[in-house]
């Protein structure tokens, strides 16, 4: 009767407890659903505001380039303005359409509010007018001959509409920012409301569930005291067992296992039929019945029949065999035996022996404990080696960072010290009053030319050590400048392509490592592959920057290089590139073959 009442109380307690947990879980899940839904709606707000702000800058850039057309008279300058104007106009139109209708490449969804759509409708005439007149200006610039008077009305129209567009675009940016702020405030209010609901549910559960339940618990405490004491006693016993087990395992791990002395384990006739099975082996295997045939028993243990037949033929021919044999005990545990299979002849050597007179003796020892000790030793050594590898990688990072700091110091010393003194010397030579002596004039001119080349070379060395533009302008402009200078210096075609207009700034160390990887890849293509065409390509998405270094050089056998090791003379640069990519959590791949050029791929997370 008491047991029945106790069971009923606990059943009721479990029901109330499940209801309470379900209520709290429901509130938590609802909160998370609402919050995640709000966060998903706000994910592209910052990107939208950034692109909308860039629209203002692009409209100003278009107006500035259009205005330059009135002042520039040289054809080269006009062509440069035409290229800049074309690029700015294309990006301006793409971003405008992305803000209105969405653009996956720009990370825009095009989900604007009614107010923003109304603002875009108001700004649309000015936008279309600027596009139309700018396209007309570009049309005239493409003609071989045109008059400035033909361009002036369109230039004035672009400048007129640009002011109105800029003012209304400011209002759109402010509206985007206000809507994002409103969403954040709404999310906070939602969180507060859900918190109040959660507290109300908890109060209800305490008042109407947990308080009545606690009374039932008090009535069952007396019957649980004895069970609690038993549980404590069992816990203490288990703790003792665990401590004993841990001590035993430690002692076992510290044991320097020694191999047993071989003993006679099995004797068979010529066909493998067992005539003697040692008591020691039977105890180790815990067998109730001795196997009938040695080879059939080994086949049941998983050994191939072909191997066993070959073993039987070898022993029959008078050859011994030695090896480790793995078998299972009666309980399913593995047992390793280091065995010697020895043929024994029952007649003198000078007699002609039939096969039936040959016995096989299996002599061996149990090496299970020794093998387990070796495995434990391997695990310990593996852990120690992994620790050493990690320590070496950490030291490599410190060395590379030290190299970067030293390069910065040397570049600074060259630029600020030697470079400035050479420039001062150049000015002194240029200010020297030269007499009419023709030979003196020639030497001074030659000295000026040599000094000019020295200054140029000093600047190049300082740039290669640590380009100041990397800290000032970022990765993309620095790589573009690097490719241009290397191409001019080496007389080959080195191009840079920024497919997705990557302009983000990354962590300083990440930018430095990526610059060194690209520098090493381009230098290798020139030095080892004799490439005449090298291209560096940037592309990115919301999460990842992808860099490709492609050349048309001789290529190489990458598999052979891996076999020789990365620290071989030709592979040291590749090893450094892979290590640098690993340090910044990037991916590094090489595609190459002899005579087919090389493509190096580097992918690094943007965030």
- Answer for the pair 543, 606: CB distance below 8 angstroms, yes or no: yes
Residue in the block written with tokens 């703790």: 239
- Answer for the pair 497, 546: CB distance below 8 angstroms, yes or no: no
State the pLDDT at residue 567: 46
State the pLDDT at residue 108: 81
DSSP string, 491-546: TSEEEEEETT-------HHHHHHHHHHHHHHHHHHHHTS--SEEEEEEEE-SSEEE
Produce one character per residue of 486-516: b if its CB has 16 or more CB atoms within 10 Å, e if not.
Answer: bbeebebebebebeeebeeebeeebbbbbbb
- Tell me the per-residue pLDDT of 170-184, one tens digit each, with 9 for 90 and over: 888 888 888 888 887
- Tell me the per-residue pLDDT of 238-252, one tens digit each, with 9 for 90 and over: 556 555 655 555 554
The structure's pTM equals 0.35
State the pLDDT at residue 221: 55
* Neighbouring residues of 269: CB distance < 8 A, sequence distance ≥ 6: 275, 356, 358, 359, 360
State the pLDDT at residue 599: 94
| Strand, helix or coil for residue 192 | helix
Residue in the block written with tokens 């791949």: 589
- Tell me the per-residue pLDDT of 577-607, one tens digit each, with 9 for 90 and over: 888 898 888 999 999 988 889 999 999 998 7
Identify the CATH assignment for 470-605 out of 3.40.50.720, 2.40.30.10, 3.30.565.10, 2.30.30.30: 3.30.565.10
State the pLDDT at residue 540: 92
Stretch 86-99: mean pLDDT: 86
Stretch 414-430: mean pLDDT: 56
Answer whether residue 348 shows pLDDT above 60: no
How many CA atoms, within 13 angstroms, populate the side-chain half-sphere of residue 465?
18
- Answer for the pair 268, 371: CB distance below 8 angstroms, yes or no: no
CATH code for the structural domain at 263-366: 3.30.450.20
Answer whether residue 206 shows pLDDT above 60: yes
Tokens representing residue 432 in the block: 């020297």
Stretch 203-221: mean pLDDT: 62
Q: Where are the domains of the chain?
A: 41-217, 263-366, 376-466, 470-605
CA 401 to chain centre: 20
- Tell me the per-residue pLDDT of 490-523, one tens digit each, with 9 for 90 and over: 889 999 999 988 988 898 889 988 998 998 899 8
CATH topology of domain 41-217: 1.20.120
- Tell me the per-residue pLDDT of 19-74, one tens digit each, with 9 for 90 and over: 666 766 777 777 777 777 766 666 667 778 888 888 888 888 888 888 887 665 56
């Amino acid at each position: 009767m008491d047991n029945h009442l106790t069971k009923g109380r606990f059943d009721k307690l479990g029901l109330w407890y499940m209801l309470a947990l379900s209520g709290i879980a429901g509130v938590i899940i609802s909160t998370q659903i609402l919050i995640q839904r709000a966060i998903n709606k706000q994910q592209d707000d910052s990107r939208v505001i950034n692109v909308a702000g860039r629209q203002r800058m692009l409209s100003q850039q278009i107006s500035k380039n259009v205005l330059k057309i009135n002042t520039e008279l040289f054809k080269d300058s006009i062509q440069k303005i035409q290229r800049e104007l074309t690029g700015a106009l294309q990006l301006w139109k793409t971003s405008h359409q992305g803000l209105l209708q969405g653009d996956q490449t720009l990370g825009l969804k095009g989900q604007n509010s009614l107010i923003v759509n109304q603002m875009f409708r108001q700004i649309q005439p000015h936008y279309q007018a600027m596009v139309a007149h700018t396209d007309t200006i570009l049309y005239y610039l493409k003609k071989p001959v045109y008059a400035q008077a033909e361009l002036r009305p369109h230039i004035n129209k672009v400048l007129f509409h640009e002011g109105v567009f800029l003012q209304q675009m400011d209002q759109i940016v402010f509206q985007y920012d206000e809507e994002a702020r409103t969403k954040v405030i709404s999310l906070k209010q939602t969180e507060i409301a859900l918190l109040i609901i959660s507290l109300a549910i908890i109060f209800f559960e305490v008042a109407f569930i947990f308080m009545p339940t606690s009374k039932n618990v008090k009535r069952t405490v007396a019957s649980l005291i004895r069970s609690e004491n038993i549980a404590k006693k069992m816990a203490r016993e288990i703790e003792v067992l665990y401590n004993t087990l841990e001590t035993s395992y430690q002692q076992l791990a510290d044991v320097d296992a020694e191999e047993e002395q071989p003993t006679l384990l099995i004797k068979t006739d010529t066909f493998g039929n067992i005539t003697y099975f040692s008591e020691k082996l039977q105890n180790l295997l815990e067998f109730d019945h001795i196997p009938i045939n040695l080879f059939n028993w080994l086949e049941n243990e998983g050994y191939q029949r072909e191997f066993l037949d070959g073993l039987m033929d070898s022993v029959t021919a008078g050859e011994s065999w030695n090896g480790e044999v793995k078998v299972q005990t009666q309980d399913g545990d593995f047992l390793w035996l280091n065995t010697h299979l020895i043929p024994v002849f029952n007649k003198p050597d000078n007699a002609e022996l039939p096969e039936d007179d040959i016995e096989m003796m299996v002599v061996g020892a149990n090496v299970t404990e020794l093998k387990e000790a070796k495995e434990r030793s391997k695990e310990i050594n593996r852990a120690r080696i992994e620790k050493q590898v990690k320590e070496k990688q950490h030291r490599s990072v410190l060395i590379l960072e030290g190299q970067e700091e030293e390069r910065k110091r040397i570049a600074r010393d060259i630029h600020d010290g030697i470079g400035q003194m050479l420039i001062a010397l150049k000015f002194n030579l240029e200010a020297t009053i030269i007499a009419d002596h023709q030979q003196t004039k020639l030497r001074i001119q030659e000295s000026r030319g040599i000094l000019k080349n020295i200054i140029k070379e000093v600047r190049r060395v300082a740039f290669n050590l640590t380009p100041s533009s990397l800290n000032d302008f970022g990765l993309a402009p620095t790589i573009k400048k690097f490719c241009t200078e290397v191409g001019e210096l080496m007389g080959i075609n080195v191009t840079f392509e920024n497919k997705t207009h990557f302009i983000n700034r990354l962590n300083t160390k990440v930018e430095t490592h990526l610059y060194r990887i690209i520098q090493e890849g381009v230098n290798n293509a020139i030095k080892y592959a004799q490439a005449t065409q090298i291209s560096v390509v940037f592309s990115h998405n919301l999460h990842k920057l992808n860099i490709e270094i492609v050349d048309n050089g001789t290529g190489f056998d990458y598999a052979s290089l891996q076999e020789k090791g990365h620290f071989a003379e030709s592979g040291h640069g590749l090893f450094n590139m892979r290590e640098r990519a690993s340090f910044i959590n990037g991916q590094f791949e090489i595609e190459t073959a002899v005579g087919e050029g090389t493509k190096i791929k580097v992918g690094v997370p943007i965030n």
